[in-house]
Amino acid sequence: MYAKTAVASIVGDKRLVAYGVLLLALHLPGALFLYKIANEFDNVPHFWFGFVLSECSNKVGRSVNLHSRLAAWLQNHGGMAFSFRQADFSVRLVGFLLIGGLFWETAELTFSHYFGMPSDPFFAFPITLRNIDGALDVSVGIIGATLAFLISNRKRFQRKDAE
């Protein structure tokens, strides 16, 4: 039931679908030839991936009332006053870290050799300058997710001020 509601909330939002298409439009040319020419271009899709996943996590969280449930659960079990805005940021960040940090980076590490691309040793410790690319990818994605949160909240508060 929740999965159907979550998928419908994303697919039904034309803006999120357009964000996903733009993400593919950035990543495909990068994977085919741009990353070899300018390795730094890799930061652009990772930033946008963080932005898009933040928006998707927010949309899914709202569709299943996760924000209110999280705030209420933390207040009941942790004794902490947790605002809806804090719950929104937490849902966005955890959504990105679970999907972007774990799933994406693990898939990139596991399957990149099938496509003839070198894998990023994100899970190799200690993190050094030779294997920092995966940690950098996740960090840039976190910045994208945070920016999506800030833009979303700014729009929301501007609407309240106009009323």
Give me the residue spans of the domains in the chain.
Answer: 2-162
Distance of CA 134 to the CA centre of its chain: 15
Per-residue confidence (pLDDT) for residue 124, from 0 to 100:
59
Structure tokens, 27: 């990543």
Model confidence at 113: pLDDT above 90: no
How far, in Å, CA of 33 to CA of 61, rounded?
36
Closest CA to 121 of 112, 132, 129, 111: 132
Helix (H, G, I), strand (E, B) or coil at 125: coil
Q: Tell which wins on pLDDT, 149 or 113.
A: 149
Q: Are the CB atoms for 52 and 16 separated by under 8 Å? A: yes
The model's confidence at residue 146, banded by pLDDT at 50, 70 and 90, is: very high
Per-residue confidence (pLDDT) for residue 142, from 0 to 100:
93
How far, in Å, CA of 129 to CA of 142, rounded?
20
Closest CA to 70 of 87, 52, 50: 87
How far, in Å, CA of 146 to CA of 6, rounded?
21
pTM of the model: 0.76
Q: Tell which wins on pLDDT, 80 or 49.
A: 49
The model's confidence at residue 125, banded by pLDDT at 50, 70 and 90, is: low
Helix (H, G, I), strand (E, B) or coil at 162: helix
Strongest mean pLDDT among 1-5, 19-23, 65-69, 124-128: 19-23
How far, in Å, CA of 97 to CA of 61, rounded?
15
Per-residue confidence (pLDDT) for residue 31, from 0 to 100:
73
Closest CA to 57 of 102, 101, 90: 90
Q: What's the one-letter identity of residue 30?
A: G
Mean pLDDT of 11-21: 83
Q: Tell which wins on pLDDT, 121 or 108.
A: 108
Mean pLDDT of 77-88: 75
Per-residue confidence (pLDDT) for residue 107, from 0 to 100:
74
How far, in Å, CA of 150 to CA of 152, rounded?
5
